[in-house]
Structure 1
Amino acid sequence: MLKVKTPKTAKARREVEKRAPKLVENRKKTLILQGTKTSNVLNAVLTEIHHLKKESSIRYTRKNENIRPFESGGETSLEFFSLKTDCSLFVFGSHAKKRPHNLVIGRTYDHHIYDLVEVGVENFKTMESFSYEKKLAPRVGSKPFFAFIGEGFQNVEELKHLKEVLLDLFRGEVVENLNLAGVDRVYVCTAVSSTRVFFTHCALRLKKSGTVVPRMELVEVGPSMDFVVRRHRLPNDGLRKEAMKTVTEQPKKKVKNVSGDVIQGKIGKIYIPDQQVGDMALSHKAKGLKRERREAKANNEANEHGSKKKKADSE
């Protein structure tokens, strides 16, 4: 049995919590690595994918003998690298006689293999083979559009799975608000048949249209390639249900002394401290105070006059 190590310090505990599954996911990173034998075409494909995901990808250039997706026991090293690099996506390249220019794209959940899609690469063209104005080159980290053309992405199970994986691989960070001026590229995926998909990367060129909305043109900037779907493995229902949990509504922060009522609506409580009226400093210009002083002065004068009259009568 494998020994489970528990964190002993607060810093290590925080790092483990960062890598744990979350309802609100953080930015996904991609691990790009290769098998024992690869081809020049496949090395170029892995380099181009790393360039497209430069800010959120890790590239391993060493050969890995123990990684064999779709085989029992051949995914342990892949899960170890996923845990080591904290990557939830991976792209693995290998080359063999039966499966030339083979590319395996997969996802992990809690650093265990979630699903796999295996495709073959054909008719590959690099970015350098396309000629275009350099100012049209997409900026690193920009948010892309996706265009899936063909009925196969809705009807064929393999293409539906490939669509999910490609969206997860190239969509970047999930954002709530988006500035359309910063959207400068699009990924176009065309389902030629039930097993073949044409993949290309284009830049968006804005031109005048005579209206407020500009006219868009696509300029192919590369890379482009054909994906031939070979094998795929879907997750089981229990794992999919656990991994697809989402937060429906963010919990609202409780406001003190405020409650709601169906009839009266929003009700609030106001707490007023006890007023010490006897300790309050009164102004000398108060009208009520002046009247009291006049009455007191008049009473004093009346009392003095009465006492003098009594004294005179007694004499």
Structure 2
Amino acid sequence: MVAIRVPRSMRAKRELLKHAPKLVENGKKMLILHGTKTSAVLNSVLADIFHLKRDHAVKYTKKNDNIRPFESGGETSLEFFSLKSDCSLLVYGSHSKKRPNNLVLGRTYDHHIYDLVEVGVENYKSIESYAYDKKLAPKLGTKPFFAFIGEHFESVEELKHLKEMLLDHFKGEVVENLNLSGVGRIFVCTAISPTTVYMMHCALRLKRSGTSIPRMELVEVGPSMDLVVRRHRFPAESLQKEAMKAPGHAKKMKNVTKDPIEGKLGRVYIPDQELGKMTLTNDIKGLKRERRDAKKNKEHSKKQKVNNPE
């Protein structure tokens, strides 16, 4: 169990607010884990994935014996590490005779396993095996393009699920405006068969085209691999309904504005008043009933004394 600590300073409170749920989430962090046994190919795959996501990734190098993603009770360690490292994306690598070079991609909601996709890595080429101009190397913080080629991404449920998983793992932060010069790489995913996807990572080279939009050329910079879908698990219906729930928008108040300096401001409209039509009465609604009745009785007794003097 993780001990719950109450923040005692404003700095600690600000750190907790960064990890709190938001209407528009920042770039999700990825947690990379090793299984009980891993191969040299799988170690290189995990290292390259960490290299591509090193701004928003946490990598654990120790072996984990208690992680069984698709078995009941084997998800406890994954959820614990997700909570400890504050990561909502998971990449877990393991190697066995039954499932060689096995890679599990997962997502969490509220630090509970949301869905999982298990793929096998084949025909892998690392980043170091490519020779290219190092000026074309993708820079930190650049947004990648995604190209999904093949009709299987729209017709096969397994590849639909894998497409969502790859987008969520490598897309980075959500932005409204994007400068073309800041886009320097692209992931090309080609559906070879209903269960196999060829994935490669390329750099974008911008060249003159005679127009305001430059001509783009792809230079493969690695890594590249074949992903063979083995097992996948969709999210539970109740958990999916809770995760997809959108927060209700606050009701807009009329004549109320917010200013960054003065804060909340309101505008009050008062109708025009005419002195000729204004009448003042002694029957004031703000007074309590007992006080109002007592005042009326007092005035009535005074009138009787004036009309009937002794």
TM range (shorter): 0.7 to 0.9
Matching residue of 1:145: 145
Name the SS for the 1:192 alignment partner: strand
| Corresponding letter in the other structure for 1:189 | C
Gaps of 5+ in 2: 259-266, 271-310
Question: What is the alpha-carbon distance in structure 2 between the residues aligned to residue 75 and residue 4 of structure 1?
Answer: 16
Tell me: CA distance 1:250–1:142, structure 2 relative to 1, closer, same or farther (3 Å). Answer: farther
Taking the TM superposition and a 5 Å limit, the aligned residue runs for 1:50-129 are: 50-129=50-129
Question: What is the alpha-carbon distance in structure 1 between the residues aligned to residue 223 and residue 183 of structure 2?
Answer: 18
TM-superposed CA distance for 1:247, in Å, is 5.2
Deviation by residue 1:105-161 (Cα, 9 ceiling, x = unmatched): 000000010000000000000111111111111111200000000011111000000
Matching residue of 2:287: none
Tell me: CA distance 1:99–1:253, structure 2 relative to 1, closer, same or farther (3 Å). Answer: farther
Contact 2:32 2:60 in 1 (8 A): yes
Say whether residues 1:205 and 2:205 are aligned partners.
Answer: yes
Contact 1:20 1:110 in 2 (8 A): no
Gaps of 5+ in 1: 259-267, 272-315
Matching residue of 2:132: 132
TM-score by length of 1: 0.76
Deviation by residue 1:185-241 (Cα, 9 ceiling, x = unmatched): 100000000000000000111112222221111110000000000000000222112
TM-superposed CA distance for 1:24, in Å, is 2.5
Name the SS for the 1:58 alignment partner: strand
Question: What is the alpha-carbon distance in structure 2 between the residues aligned to residue 97 and residue 4 of structure 1?
Answer: 36
Say whether residues 1:184 and 2:178 are aligned partners.
Answer: no
Matching residue of 2:47: 47
Tell me: CA distance 1:168–1:269, structure 2 relative to 1, closer, same or farther (3 Å). Answer: same
Matching residue of 1:244: 244
Name the SS for the 2:163 alignment partner: helix
Deviation by residue 1:5-64 (Cα, 9 ceiling, x = unmatched): 654445577655644443322321000011010000000000000000011000111000
Question: What is the alpha-carbon distance in structure 2 between the residues aligned to residue 157 and residue 8 of structure 1?
Answer: 44
Name the SS for the 2:225 alignment partner: strand
Question: What is the alpha-carbon distance in structure 1 between the residues aligned to residue 253 and residue 186 of structure 2?
Answer: 39
Question: What is the alpha-carbon distance in structure 1 between the residues aligned to residue 168 and residue 253 of structure 2?
Answer: 32
Contact 1:30 1:56 in 2 (8 A): yes
Contact 2:35 2:63 in 1 (8 A): yes
Contact 2:114 2:235 in 1 (8 A): yes
- Higher-Rg member (1/2): 1
| Corresponding letter in the other structure for 1:44 | S
Question: What is the alpha-carbon distance in structure 1 between the residues aligned to residue 132 and residue 249 of structure 2?
Answer: 45
Name the SS for the 2:55 alignment partner: helix
| Corresponding letter in the other structure for 1:230 | R
Contact 1:21 1:110 in 2 (8 A): no
Question: What is the alpha-carbon distance in structure 1 between the residues aligned to residue 246 and residue 134 of structure 2?
Answer: 41
Deviation by residue 1:269-311 (Cα, 9 ceiling, x = unmatched): 578xxxxxxxxxxxxxxxxxxxxxxxxxxxxxxxxxxxxxxxx
Contact 1:21 1:109 in 2 (8 A): no
Paired positions, count: 261
TM-superposed CA distance for 1:77, in Å, is 0.7
Question: What is the alpha-carbon distance in structure 2 between the residues aligned to residue 254 and residue 86 of structure 1?
Answer: 40
Deviation by residue 1:48-91 (Cα, 9 ceiling, x = unmatched): 00000011000111000001110011110111000000000010
Question: What is the alpha-carbon distance in structure 2 between the residues aligned to residue 74 and residue 178 of structure 1?
Answer: 41
TM-score by length of 2: 0.78
Q: Among the aligned pairs, what percent are the same residue?
A: 68
Contact 2:255 2:268 in 1 (8 A): no
